[in-house]
A and B are shown apart, each in its own frame.
Chain A
Amino acid sequence: MLVAERRMATIDYDLELKRAGANATGGWRRVLFLARRHVLGAAGLIIMTVFVFTAIFANVLARFDPLTVDAAHALARPSAAHWMGTDSFGRDVFSRIIHGARISLAVGLGSTALGGTIGVIVGLTSGYLSGWFDLVFQRVSDILQALPLLVLALVMTAALGPSLPNVIIAIAIPLIPTVARVIRANTLALREQPFVEAAKSIGMSEVRIAVRHVLPNTLAPLIVLATAQLGSTILTEASLSFLGLGIPEPYPSWGRMLSESAAEYVRTAPWLVIFPGIAISLAVFGTNLFGDALRDILDPRQRG
């Protein structure tokens, strides 16, 4: 008896209800409620918001021009003037990190959007049409997946030459089969659904069915996948930069900032290595946290 009393006494039924925000149906209260339920996701959202905000308002936030060389202040320690110190060219690290957010965001969003869009089209077509297109897709996707992503990206950037659009393309291509596979599997499952049958029976065209009925229903897994990929594309760019094939100087790409020559300063000027590393990790961490929470919310199978 005692145990039960102890266990139940801790629960004030009405208070719990109120605290849980059970009555919040929309607006901020609902957001706050969700945030409380998904603390990590909320943290991720905050990080991502800061990240996106930084990228958009980089011009306003940066205290110096990220490209201006200043010989007199090279390798300055972090100070009131240069919050994160300066690099060997005297460029303000803080401003470069602020502007670097743009590049990372451009790479992340750009390649995810590009790979995602093509992946959706290929996946939908493949899942919907079946037949030879599907067969070819399956083989091509086998091929792409048997090649390590970084190797593929390496050869691609080497082939295209290092520039922002090319890096985006190089990272996007290996993404296509991953996205297409998920969409294809979903499409296959959806094709058997009654509402698709129904749409067919009233004479809707196949393309229309695919776009109006099947696509919206694959949106949730797509969003989940895209968020998960966002972080890894940022990391891939960093790795490419580390190997000397990423976004070229003087663009302040985070990966480039902490790789190669900056690595020479790991002990004499550690701020050159630490801050960009933190920036990358934090941005990726944020998107991962957010992606996790999003999956919990959007993917009912995963709901815990």
Chain B
Amino acid sequence: MRSVWALAAVAALSVLTVSTTTLADEGKQGGILRIYHRDSPGNASIHEGATYSLNVPFMPVFNNLVIYKQDVAQNSMDTIVPELAESWAWVNDNKTLTFKLRQGVKWHDGKPFTSADVKCTFDMLMGKSQQKFRQNPRKAWYNEVNDVTTNGDFEVSFNLKRPQPSLLALLASGYTPVYPCHVSPAEMRTHPIGTGPFKFVEFKANESIKLTRNPDYWRKGRPYLDGIEFTIIPNRSTAILAFVAGKFDMTFPTEVSIPLLKDVKSQDPTAVCVVEPNNVSTNIIVNSTAAPFDNADIRRAMALALDRKAFINIMFEGQGDIGGTMEPAPAGLWAMPKEMLESIPGYGPDVKANREEAKKLMQKAGYGPDKHLAVKVSTRNIPVYRDPAVILIDQLKSIYIDGELDVVETANWFPKIARKDYMLGLNLTGNAVDDPDQSFYENYSCGSERNYTNYCNKEIEKLFDAQSQETDVNKRKKLVWEIDKKLQEDVARPIIFHARTGTCWKPYVKGVTVMSNSSYNGYRYEDVWMDK
């Protein structure tokens, strides 16, 4: 029995065929795309990382079973297209997802690609194989998968415990490439082998990453580029200066802040720049297990004191979005309607009134103009973390809270949070796909490793499962909205804002699409070419 999703996929496929032919007419072969990279990723293995510093340079090396269509900015179920799969189908009451695989695909080392590679990859992700990843940050994505089975060399099935339409979305993320069975995880960390449009050449830590064109790529005529070179420049101003000076064809994707964007445009008016939401939310993690935030009134007061517009004005010169857990509309697919959002305490437009209410709550808890509450705000020693923390501290002043910034080095951040050795933490949560399953289970379900606050609400947990199994999109949306509202009202992890960032490239660079509801999925770069 075929689901609506499968039909949509077929439709999407036909769209893809049309668009590729038009692109093919325009595209010019050749050239090396030069991009700067914001930092040196620890290794080259996408499955073992949790930062898009890995996805950007290494996604071009791989293929997924399915992928979000690379030239559509907004990721959705409708834009998922086959890649190593030729087609897919939901069978067995939506409890089995079966893929027919592409034949004749070769790994970069010449070995043929088969269904065994797919099984190997996902067995390893589920922790079922002999070989282990050093780290496996997205193991929880496959919680509902019983096992992966093969049928011959070119068919593979995911057998689920219960229907989970979102699995397809997870499989379409840039985070989910297929790894070769014959290469060990350790080798994949230093010298990745894929089936993708570009072959890995070298990775010099803190220096550069080089990729070269895969001449045997299964998609004929692709890629256009002869290669991609990433030069690692952690210092942002040096990097931007270098881009302006023509040392690079493109900036690191979604790494140009709004003030820098202005700078780029003024220095190089020909540069093409886009600003998109990147589905990264800045939020506050609250330690509700210890004083003072074990007091629900103080938690609520804090939520009420937030002036989200001010954050956005300062950080993004107005170009940011207010929302709940899910990325706000229009880029986000699952965002609450405006009226619903504004009914949540602290989201109302009248900041003054909110703060008056917050003050009352604080007074109720025993604080006032003469008795301030001293609070430590912990955050990582990175500007995107630190800057909003500074604003947060300033805003808390208005409700008798004296915040002190506690800057934590990356190495100590996670252990500190895990030890519950903090009061408030300023945190960034990036969402790999704009999908409720990914964000709810990962960040709010009881026992999830990324549920830093240990927020645990069995009621909501049930709603998580309900929306996850719902195949009717509209019904599912309603459920998602309800959950999101509840999470905000519970001050589970108050969301301050959703960021928007810029990407720039020189006008001769063509075929780049910056995605608007994820910053992890759009870097295959096989359609990118240079008009030089």
Contact = CB atoms under 8 A, between A and B. Distances in A.
Interface of A: 67-69, 71-72, 74-75, 88-90, 158, 161-162, 244, 248-250, 260-261, 263-269
B409 interface: yes
Contact of B314 (A68, A71, A263, A265): A71
B515 to A, nearest CB: 24
A249 B394 CA distance: 12
Contacts of B386: 248-249
Contacts of B317: 74
A120 to B, nearest CB: 33
Given A68-B394, A89-B387, A248-B381, A264 B409 contact: no
A69 B390 CA distance: 8
Interface stretch (B49-57, B76-84, B260-268, B276-284): B260-268
17 contacts: A67-B393, A68-B394, A69-B314, A69-B395, A71-B310, A72-B313, A89-B390, A158-B409, A161-B409, A162-B381, A162-B407, A248-B381, A249-B390, A249-B405, A249-B407, A264-B257, A265-B259
Nearest to A162: B407
Given A69-B394, A268-B262, A248 B405 contact: yes
Contacts of B237: 263-264, 266
Interface string B211-246: 000000000000000000000000111001000000
A260 B257 CA distance: 13
B445 to A, nearest CB: 33
Interface in B399-437: 405-407, 409, 412
Nearest to B411: A158
Contacts of B407: 162, 248-249
Contacts of A90: 314
Contacts of B236: 263-264
B391 interface: yes
Contacts of A88: 259, 314, 387
Nearest to A74: B314
B110 interface: no
Nearest to A273: B237
A162 to B, nearest CB: 6
B104 interface: no
Nearest to A262: B237
A90 B387 CA distance: 12
A33 to B, nearest CB: 48
B160 to A, nearest CB: 45
Contacts of A269: 259
B259 A75 contact: yes
A274 to B, nearest CB: 14
B394 A264 contact: no
How many chain B residues sit at the interface, stated as a range, is 20 to 34
A88 B259 CA distance: 9
Contacts of A250: 390, 393, 405
B383 interface: yes
Given A249-B390, A267-B266, 10 more contacts: A69-B391, A69-B394, A74-B313, A89-B391, A162-B381, A248-B405, A249-B405, A265-B263, A266-B237, A268-B259
Contacts of A67: 393-394
A71 B409 contact: no
Interface in B368-405: 381, 383, 386-387, 389-391, 393-395, 405
A265 B257 CA distance: 11
Contacts of B314: 69, 71, 74, 88-90
A264 B259 contact: yes
A250 B313 CA distance: 19
A72 B309 CA distance: 11
Contacts of B260: 264, 268
Contacts of A72: 313
A120 B259 CA distance: 50
A135 B394 CA distance: 54
Contacts of B267: 267
B30 to A, nearest CB: 34
A261 B387 contact: yes
Interface string B311-342: 00110010000000000000000000000000
Nearest to B395: A69
A161 B406 CA distance: 10
Nearest to B237: A263
A161 B237 CA distance: 26
A89 B240 CA distance: 21
A260 B407 CA distance: 15
A248 B390 CA distance: 11
Nearest to B408: A161
A100 to B, nearest CB: 15
A265 B241 CA distance: 11
A177 B70 CA distance: 60
Residue of A69, A161, A162 with most chain B CB atoms under a 10 A cut-off: A69
A75 B313 CA distance: 11
A71 B313 contact: yes
A276 to B, nearest CB: 15
A264 B263 CA distance: 9
A161 B409 CA distance: 8
B334 to A, nearest CB: 29
Contacts of B310: 69, 71
Contacts of B391: 69, 89
A62 to B, nearest CB: 16
Contacts of B393: 67, 250
Contact of A260 (B383, B389, B406): B383
Nearest to A69: B394
B429 to A, nearest CB: 21
B259 to A, nearest CB: 6
A95 to B, nearest CB: 14
6 A-B pairs with least C-beta separation? A69-B394, A248-B407, A263-B237, A71-B310, A261-B383, A71-B313
B235 A263 contact: yes
Nearest to A269: B259
A253 to B, nearest CB: 12
Nearest to B256: A264
Residue of A71, A158, A266 with most chain B CB atoms under a 10 A cut-off: A71
A268 B390 contact: no
Contacts of A260: 383
A267 B261 CA distance: 12
A32 B240 CA distance: 51
A158 to B, nearest CB: 7
Nearest to A242: B235
A280 B395 CA distance: 30
A266 B260 CA distance: 10
A5 to B, nearest CB: 63
Given A250-B390, A264-B260, A244 B381 contact: yes
A18 to B, nearest CB: 57
Nearest to A68: B394
B443 to A, nearest CB: 26
A265 B412 CA distance: 29
Contacts of B405: 248-250
A237 B55 CA distance: 36
A168 B240 CA distance: 33
A263 B239 CA distance: 11
A265 B264 CA distance: 11
